[in-house]
Amino acid sequence: MKKLLASTFLAVGLYAVAGAAQAAECGEVSIAEMNWASAGVAAHVDKFILENGYGCTVELVTGDTMPTFASMNEKAQPDMAPELWVNAVRTPLDAAIKEGRLIQAAPLLSEGGVEGWWIPKFLADAHPEIKTVQDALKHPDLFPAPEDASKGAIHNCPSGWNCQVSTANLFKALDAEKAGFELVDTGSAAGLDGSIANAFEKKTGWLGYYWAPTAILGKYEMTRLSFGVDHDKKEWDACSAVPDCPNPKVNSYPVSDVYTVVTKSFAEKAGVAMDYIKVRKWDNGTVNKVLAWMDQNQGTNEDAAKHFLQEFPEMWTQWVSPEVAEKVKAAL
C-alpha cells in the first residue's frame, strides 16, 4: 500500500509539474469572436476554458468570415478562429494550408452547418408518412398559405440571401406550384422566424427553409425532410444556387464544413491549447439549446458560454483532463 501511495503521490506531483509547464507554454492567445451567435459563444467557451483550465491569457477580437480569414492569412492575427465556415474561403484556405500559413485544426460542429426544408416535429409525429419533401407536397392542406388557405405554402428566405435562390429553384424543380403550393416571401429574418413561431402558437403546419445551428431550432422542435437524392455539387454550382436557372433539378443542400482554423505560428507555440482544440466539438442540437436560452434570457455571448459550461458538463469535461475540468468548474 505504501508503495502504491508513494507511486500515486509521485504521479500527481509529476502531473502538477507538467501542468504548470503547460500553462507557462500557453502564453497569450487571441481568438476571433465572430459576429454571429454560435461562433461568439464558442469563442467565450474557449476563452473561459483556456484561461481557467490552462492558465492562458486570452484576448477576444471582433471578427467576421472574410476579414478574419484575410487577417489570419496575411498577418497571422488573430491566432484562432473557433468557428470558420470554410466553404466560403475554401480556395484561399487550401492555398494557405499548402503554403504553411494556416492549419485547419478540427471540426467545431460535429454535424457541420445544415440547411434544408423543415416541418414542425408535432406535425411529423402526427403524420409519420411524411419523410421527404415530396411526401409533404402531397398534402398542401397541412401547410396552409397565410393569404390563401386553399393552397399550401413553402416559406422562403428573405430576398438577398443565397438560400432564397436555392429555395426558389427547388420549388420549381419539385413542380410544387402544380402540387398546390405557393412560394411565400417572408420579407426578413424576423418574418421567417415569426412565421415559425406563429405556426407553433396556432399548432398549424409549416413548411420551408431553415438552417442549424440557430436559436429558433432550439426553441421550436423541427424535423428536417429529405429531398430523396444526394447532394450534387456540380448541379448545385451550375444551377441550384444560380438565380433563375431555367431547368433546375431536385437536389439536396450541401452540409457546410465548420472548422477551427489557427495560424501555424500559434500551433507551434501553444501545444496545450492545440491539444484542447483538437478534441473539442459540439453538436447542433446542443448549440440550438444554448442559443435558445441566450435569446430567451437576452444573454450575451459570455452569458451563454457560462450557461453551457454549467448545464452541459457531461460534454465539455470530455474535452479536458479531470484536473483541468475541476479548475474550470471552480471558476464558474
Q: Does residue 9 lie within any of the structural domains?
A: no
| 193 & 234 share domain | yes
Q: What CATH number is associated with residue 316?
A: 3.40.190.10
| 119 & 251 share domain | yes
| 118 & 235 share domain | yes
Tell me the residue range of the domain where 281 lies. 28-112+257-331
Please give the full DSSP string across 221-290, using - where no structure is assigned. -EEEPB-SS---HHHIIIIITSTT-SS----PPPPBPEEEEEEHHHHHH-HHHHHHHHH--B-HHHHHHH
Among 228, 255, 282, residue at a domain's last position: 255
Segment 211-266, tens digit of pLDDT = 999 999 999 999 999 999 999 999 999 999 999 999 999 999 999 999 999 999 98
Higher pLDDT, residue 151 or 8: 151
Q: What CATH number is associated with residue 241?
A: 3.40.190.100
Q: Does residue 23 lie within any of the structural domains?
A: no
Q: Does residue 249 lie within any of the structural domains?
A: yes
Reported pTM: 0.84
Number of H helices, E strands in the chain: 16, 10
| 263 & 318 share domain | yes
Reported as a pLDDT band with limits 50, 70 and 90, residue 304 is very high
| 56 & 124 share domain | no
Say yes or no to pLDDT of 311 above 50: yes
Total domains in the fold of the chain: 2
Indicate the average pLDDT of the chain. Answer: 91
| 44 & 55 share domain | yes
Q: Does residue 194 lie within any of the structural domains?
A: yes
